[in-house]
A and B are shown apart, each in its own frame.
Chain A
């Protein structure tokens, strides 16, 4: 992994990604949130993505409801069917709460972390990103790399493709692209 990065900043990036995958709610989907997201897109060179997103939000009479309907369709229950449940077990075992979920929880424990009472299943994408955020903050780069390789990469690319292919709103396309960016290996550079 990158040795001279600022761990806290990387931790923040993971947490921001996790936040973005929560159910759309005015509590976090604020002006501040969007301005931070636009700033991130500017820095990454995502001008086109930013324009598409702003256009979709401005064209909507109720952008919050649009995002809630899209989130429900993509990740909870939707028609024609739920597109991409955000749980690793679904892709690896065609089931919620599979063995994979158990293994991932054991891995959290083995690194000194756990799940709160209110948490979803341990293999939820949000918790995986939150876990990565903790690892980054606690400077556990070896574990971070290990987790991405052993637990995250086996399912996330399938999920990512599904969301990108089927999303009707640019928001989730953008967010998934950002998560892709921060979690994929860059083999050509020997990261």
Chain B
């Protein structure tokens, strides 16, 4: 299309006036450009803004931003930090590209198309909030508060989660960080030592560091990596148990190339050997152990030879590991892990890790498991109101818990099954806040069916992740660089240094862009519209932070004066609490119908022609939240699949070949990735980085980049004690050029 005359002729013609006059009357908007006094050239607005706390992953490093006229130009670690110091990882540096990502959510959007195939229309906040309040109230009135489900994740989701759980009264909360990640670890340690373990091992002062599946270096949390590296620099031996030659395995003294799913057998045999040989912390267990005799008796059958056969590793290597641990006990770091939702037999494995730590006497000693003593701050949120207990999906008809060691919330599958069957009651509303259940929960089709049957779905996020395509209302949240938010506390990570505590609060590095809002604003406005205005605990996010800081005698103003971080004298972390005990044999677990002594439960093996799909972290991505980041995508655009080199030869595959996958249920990967052949992986499994291959075209960088491993995890396994998902019981074959290629080795 073009016009018949030239611009020059038109502007010179008499028609110009005839056209321009009516046009001038059609202009109704105010100009964003204004006349102003002349300003000298040159940049005058350079500043260093302190108070930032990273959220490119959940480790939350302290940072500063270099800004120029409100434009963020660089992120750096806060020099005052005694945690990450001046260091930020690649993801932390790339946060700037999240802030200014053109694909980020900018305004409230209403879906005027279909769920899963949205047509977005920008709407006002009032309209969006009215719609959310009205629809959620309709669901609450018709089905009760339990008719609303919540899928939260991250620091901004706590406040809304508490509103729906404590105030509205739905028990149907599923946090991915618990049910698809670390919840099993926390409840297993709670059932053994009474405290969730975090990753609180004193690695800088350890003589041995023991990692079961931990792949540090690929999984980067700055101060944790510093702590690990300091330990190695100080001469710690490193034992890595992993089917794959990971970055940590590459630094190890002993790499245990274990058969996937058999870790508990391995741990039991170590403990059995140490007990049999009397190489355990007898005095320590006498003082702090409970149920040790029953435990020792219960694991007696786990000889080195039996475990060697089960785990497909040499018996002498198990002995070597056991001896190395015993010879250096109690100064050994038995790492509790973080993402532990692996095989559906994970509670027992995590209990075994806690018991192994106890057998070595490695609690509250140098190099052992040592929870630092951090400062106290407030935890203001919504108050608990009285709600009926009868809607807990985790309770059976005999009033017993299906999964007695569940993390907080309701196991995901119980929520999804109730939503799909309408039994014991319908679940028709869904609030998704910072979580991407399409890529975090196994069986994507099931999740889509759950969302389809809802009367209303709302999402709050910073990016248009896969699940946002299923929203009716999509609300844009400020990023971690644009908001006040959580208070981070802690201590110095090397306990051999002067004991210090720190308190820092997230403060905005730049003002919020577009119409993005914070969690307190959004939640409060929905609460008002649902009739809960009297229950609102704080008016603004700043008020929330102020009240929480006040408990520690601080304020935002004071923290700003102190460059974002308050440092105070710390406490000796090695002091053992008086009531500390290690429950080796747990009668309560047994009374609930589960093994009270850590027990190995074998898992399904790959069918012929298939290999087990394993996944893990890559250093430049944090699951799907960094998929669309231009810098990080450039650093590692896809997730090559690790394949044993001998197998690859038999399969006719070589490095760089483009392949897809098909799983045991016939589900094919939407996209392809390249092959990485290596002797550094067992023949019964393949491995790929997690968090690739977004299906959402709105993520214009991340869409279709690499393969989405979760799309191939369709078989659901449940860890019976906790109700958490086991994610590594799915099996795949390769596809290439339209043909399926069997994996010749399977077990």
Q: Which residues of A contact B (CB under 8 A)?
A: 2, 4-6, 8-10, 12-13, 15-16, 18-19, 22-23, 27-28, 30, 32-33, 35-37, 39-40, 43-46, 48-49, 65, 68-69, 71-73, 76-82, 85, 87, 89-90, 94-98, 101-102, 105-106, 108-110, 112-116, 118-120, 124, 126-127, 130-131, 133-134, 164, 173-174, 177, 181-182, 184, 186, 189, 191
Contacts and interface: CB of A to CB of B under 8 A. Distances in A.
Interface in B15-72: 15-39, 41, 43, 68-69, 71-72
Interface residues of B, number: 69
B20 A12 contact: yes
A90 B19 contact: no
Contacts of A182: 7
A42 to B, nearest CB: 9
Nearest 10 interchain pairs by C-beta: A45-B4, A119-B32, A80-B697, A114-B36, A9-B20, A28-B28, A96-B100, A44-B3, A109-B39, A130-B33
Contacts of A113: 33-36
B469 interface: yes
Interface in B73-107: 97, 99-103, 105-107
A37 to B, nearest CB: 8
Given A95-B101, A186-B7, A65 B20 contact: no
Given A69-B120, A112-B35, A10 B11 contact: yes
Given A49-B1, A115-B33, A85 B102 contact: yes
Interface stretch (B379-387, B424-432, B648-656, B698-706): B698-706
Which of B17, B36, B109 has its CB near the most chain A CB atoms (within 10 A)?
B36
A44 B3 CA distance: 6
B590 to A, nearest CB: 53
Contacts of B103: 77, 81-82
A118 B32 contact: yes
A6 B34 contact: no
Contact of B32 (A27, A78, A82, A126): A126
Given A19-B28, A182-B7, A13 B23 contact: yes
A184 B3 CA distance: 13
B25 A72 contact: no
Interface stretch (B111-119, B139-147, B600-608): B111-119
Given A19-B27, A65-B121, A112-B35, 16 more contacts: A9-B19, A10-B16, A30-B26, A49-B1, A68-B122, A69-B112, A69-B119, A77-B120, A80-B697, A113-B34, A115-B32, A119-B32, A120-B32, A127-B32, A127-B33, A134-B33
9 contacts: A18-B29, A36-B23, A113-B36, A114-B35, A115-B33, A116-B32, A130-B31, A189-B6, A191-B8
Contacts of A15: 23-24, 27, 31
A156 to B, nearest CB: 15
A110 B38 contact: yes
A9 B29 CA distance: 18
Given A69-B121, A79-B120, A36 B12 contact: no
B476 to A, nearest CB: 9
B16 A9 contact: yes
Given A43-B15, A45-B3, A181-B3, A8 B100 contact: no
Contact of A110 (B1, B22, B39): B39
Given A112-B35, A114-B36, A102 B68 contact: yes
Nearest to A52: B1
Contacts of B513: 96-97
B494 to A, nearest CB: 38
Interface string B129-142: 00000000000000
A152 to B, nearest CB: 14
A191 B120 CA distance: 42
Contacts of A13: 19-20, 23
B23 A16 contact: yes
A32 B26 contact: yes
A164 to B, nearest CB: 8
A137 B257 CA distance: 75
A49 B1 CA distance: 8
Nearest to A24: B122
B11 A2 contact: yes
A41 B507 CA distance: 51
Interface in B686-714: 697-700, 703
Given A28-B28, A108-B33, A189 B8 contact: yes
A184 B698 contact: no
Contacts of B97: 95
A191 B457 CA distance: 56
Nearest to A3: B12
A62 B15 CA distance: 33
B589 interface: no
Contacts of B106: 76-77
A44 B69 contact: no
A176 to B, nearest CB: 9
A18 B31 contact: yes
A134 to B, nearest CB: 6
B18 to A, nearest CB: 7
A6 B38 CA distance: 25
Nearest to A31: B26
B434 interface: no
Given A5-B11, A10-B11, A181-B7, A22 B29 contact: yes
A41 to B, nearest CB: 8
Nearest to B122: A72
A77 B15 contact: no
Contacts of B100: 89, 95-98
B313 interface: no
A85 to B, nearest CB: 5
Given A33-B26, A119-B32, A106 B8 contact: no
Nearest to B31: A130
A103 to B, nearest CB: 10
Contact of B16 (A5, A71, A89, A108): A5
